[in-house]
Structure 1
Amino acid sequence: MKIIVVNNPAAKNGGALTILKEFLGKIYSLKCNRKFYIIVSLEELKKYETDKVKIIVIEKQGFKDRILWDNLRLKKFLKNKNIMPSLLISLQNTGVNIDKKIPQFIYFHQSLSITNLKWNLFHKEERIYWMYKNIYPFFIRQYLKKANKIIVQTEWVKKAFLEKFNYSEKNMVLMKPSINRIDIANINMIDKQKYRIFYPASPFMYKNHKIVIKALGDLLQERNELSEKIECIFTFLKGENKELDELIKKYNLENIIKLIGKVNYEKVLEWYKSSDLLVFPSYLETFGLPLIEAQDFNLKILSVDEKYAREVTESYKNVEYINKNDLDKWKNQILKNLID
């Protein structure tokens, strides 16, 4: 029986974990003569284990630990466990140091390293983005020649990767995530008395919550009577981003913007069903999963005008695109949807 090793201890949350779970879900029902060894760092993923899928849980890795794992420890680990893979799949953007005779596929989904955006190393909030933009590409290039295939989610990522790393197009595979259709009828509604705007995103700088906060602040300063008719849902908690907390306070939006924290997938679906408008001003994504999910609910979308957004919503009619910095347009389009 052929053995496939999947390396992904870096997936702990967010999009990376979603991709890993999607992958596990696919091989769970796969009928083939293969044995999968999936290396992860979350004990909860043990539930995906079957007679053909072995979940190996290792300790969570910091940046230095991951470098050591990819370069030295993984190869030694496989040898000690007497695991002889016929294929290695990396779901965490970079290749690993293994025998060159073993084919290696890399699933690449890290837009920070291929964007043209610039970050300031000396700005605390931007430092991590600067690292991904300027340092992380070294680790992508490190074992790129060993990679037989690079798999990407979108056409824009494929083009950007080819340009950034001067890689051979014949070895690249475009594989859009296969999102299961949502059975809306079985999803609960969340009670509401106001027009509801929803934005499911972590409070990272590039998620661009600021433009939504400022747009709502300006709108309600001009039309104060609307404050009793509108609410906006963000999926983080007070204290996670002090700059956003201060901005919400500055515009007196504490009763308008509700910070509900991270919620599980089932609850996110309930918020989609119970909302009137999805805003998605994030200017740095590989795919933008909420843009896909919202379409199943026929939800009106105000989206940032970026390549990824146009690609994943190209066949959807209920979407408007707005420049990431066009405050007046964000404000006016929110108002237009509110009063229509």
Structure 2
Amino acid sequence: MRKKIMIFNVPAQELGALTILNNAYKAALDDHNDYIFIISGDYLKKADNIDVVSLPWVKKSWFHRLFFDYFISIRLIKKYEADEVISYQNMTVRAPKNIKQKVYLHNAIPFTDINFSVKKETKLWIYKKIISKKILHSLKKADQIIVQTNWMKSSVLKKINSIDSDQVVVENTSELISNLIGKDHKYIADGFINKYIYPAAPFVYKNHLEIVEACKQLTEQEKKKVKIVFTFEGNESENAKKIKQEIIQNNLPIFLIGKITPKEVQQYYLTHQLLFSSKLETLGLPLLEAQMFNTPIVYRKSVLFDEVTNSYSNEKSYRTIVALKKILIKF
């Protein structure tokens, strides 16, 4: 029986979230059901079995988002007569009680012990102290929770005792990304310079400063052999400004190129190794994407990232800044 499935993903705007959105779109194109995507930007096109509703006003403020969550989502479900809802917003949406809901969980903040500064990281502090509670409460109502790793499934089950193991499904993200990217292009090393890219917004937990500190330990001669690309401009936040200042003051081989598209990131994987220093993820999508190009990976050691790179041989991990510095010039 052909169903109408409504997918909510209005927050998607960063690289990782957009990749997840594109994965969902690709899967919908190949499915026999009808889909309605509720988003907030011009990211997707309508197709034979896909309708797209773009609501850019949702991102104007917290008030607009709350208004959407409490009043608009349920109206859209009724208007399009959806049979099922899949929320990519880390929590269920307000919907009629008879509607089955799946939640795609891709935010680890509610499950981490990392704390954020109310002054320097206000949005993340609000997310951890307020929105996280809403997410945890909401997940109890979901018919199914979709996660990206076994590590994340374990974290959910430990945090929410009322959820059964069968309710939490680990998605085969690697297969989805492989289908999305294809296998026609592969990484080609530069014989003279070690080139790296770290495709991440300048949030504190993304840990760019660890890379900065490693580069500060390079000699002037070693700096000439390393080139690192960060995908932000340096004025987005206090943390971004601090990173930019450190780069300029210490004449570091780090280049701020601004925000780029997922396709542009993939082009970098052909010539740049992936550098990944994040402290907090539910998956670490770049780790999977880079593997599709056979791109060398350097990552901060963790149980989660070990799982994601488990079957990949072209990688190295580090625990300390000194170890990272050595890898940068020798990989």
Q: TM-score, normalised by structure 1?
A: 0.86
1:191: how far off? 8.6
Instruction: Calculate the aligned-residue CA RMSD, in Å.
Output: 2.3
How far apart are the structure 1 equivalents of 2:17 and 2:278?
A: 17
Counterpart of 1:128 in structure 2 is 123
Aligned to 1:242: 241
Alpha-carbon offset, residue 316 of structure 1 = 1.3
Change (3 A) 1:142 1:60: farther
The higher radius of gyration belongs to 1
Q: What residue number does 1:92 align with?
A: 89
Answer whether contact 1:6 1:37 (CA < 8 A) is retained: yes
SS in 2 for 1:43: coil
**Structure-to-structure mapping, 1:48-59, within 5 angstroms:** 49-59=46-56
Distance 1:142 1:228 in 2: 51
Equivalent positions of 1:132-143 (< 5 A) are 132-143=127-138
| 3-state SS in 1 of match to 2:305 | helix
Residues 226 and 65 of structure 1: is their aligned pair in 2 closer, same or farther, counting only changes over 3 Å? Answer: same
The Cα of 1:84 is off from its aligned counterpart by 2.1
Q: Hey, what's the Cα distance between the residues in 2 that align with 1:257 and 1:64?
A: 38
Say whether the 8 Å CA contact 2:187–2:295 is kept in structure 1: no
Secondary structure at the aligned position of 1:113 is classed as: helix
Distance 1:191 1:215, change over 3 A: closer
Shift of 1:19: 0.9
Corresponding residue for 1:20? 21
CA contact (8 A) 2:297 2:315 kept: yes
Is the deviation greater in 60-69 or in 302-311? Answer: 60-69
Aligned length, in residue pairs: 321
Whether the 8 Å contact between 2:5 and 2:36 is mirrored in structure 1 is yes
Work out whether residues 153 and 287 of structure 1, in 8 Å CA contact, stay in contact via their aligned partners in 2: yes
1:108 aligns with 2:105: yes
Matched, 1:228 2:224: yes
How far the C-alpha of 1:142 sits from its partner, in A, is: 4.0
Matched residue, 1:179:
177
Cα distance in 2 for partners of 1:68, 1:320 equals 46
Query: C-alpha distance in 2, partners of 1:227/1:12?
Result: 33
Q: 1:154 aligns with which of 149, 157, 177?
A: 149
In structure 2, the partner of 1:38 is 37
Matched, 1:200 2:199: yes
Matched residue type, 2:123: I
8 A Cα contact 1:100 1:146, kept in partner: no
Residue equivalent to 2:324:
330
CA 1:169 to 1:60, structure 2 compared with 1: closer, same or farther past 3 Å?
farther
State whether residues 226 and 329 of structure 2, in contact with CA within 8 Å, keep that contact through their aligned partners in structure 1: no
Q: Identify which of 301, 308, 317 aligns with 1:321.
A: 317
Q: Matches of 1:236 and 1:193 in 2, distance apart?
A: 26
Deviation string 1:273-314 (CA, Å, 9 cap, x unpaired) is 212x32211111111122122223333322111122111101
Q: Distance in 1 between matches of 2:98 and 2:28?
A: 24
SS of the aligned residue for 1:6 comes to: strand
Matched with 1:8 is 9
> Which position in structure 1 is the counterpart of 2:165?
169
* Alignment check: 8 A CA contact 1:215 1:330 kept: yes
Structure 2 CA distance for aligned equivalents of residues 14 and 110 of structure 1: 14
The answer as to 2:292 corresponding to 1:296 is: yes
Q: Using the alignment, how far apart are the partners of 2:193 and 2:307 within structure 1? A: 32
Runs of at least 5 residues in structure 1 that lack an aligned partner in the other structure? none
Distance 1:212 1:260 in 2: 16
Name the CA distance, whole Å, in 2 between partners of 1:218 and 1:135: 39
Q: Specify the SS of the correspondent of 1:92.
A: coil
SS of 1:119's equivalent in the other structure is coil
TM-superposition CA deviations, 1:177-215 (whole Å, max 9, x none): 121265565579799963322222222111111111111
TM-score (norm 2): 0.88
- Cα deviation code 1:29-71 (max 9, x no counterpart): 22x2x322221111342x2x12321112223323232223222
Q: Name the structure 2 match of 1:269.
A: 266
Q: Are the aligned partners of 2:74 and 2:95 in contact in 1 as well (CA < 8 Å)?
A: yes
Q: Matched residues in 1 for 2:221 and 2:231: separation?
A: 26
- SS of aligned partner of 2:57: coil
Larger RCO (alpha carbons 8 Å, 6+ apart):
2
Distance (whole Å) between structure 1 residues aligned to residue 309 and residue 330 of structure 2? 21
SS at 1:105 equivalent = strand
Q: Which amino acid aligns with 2:14?
A: N
Q: Decide whether aligned partners of structure 1 residues 150 and 246 sit closer, same or farther in structure 2, where only a CA change above 3 A counts.
A: same
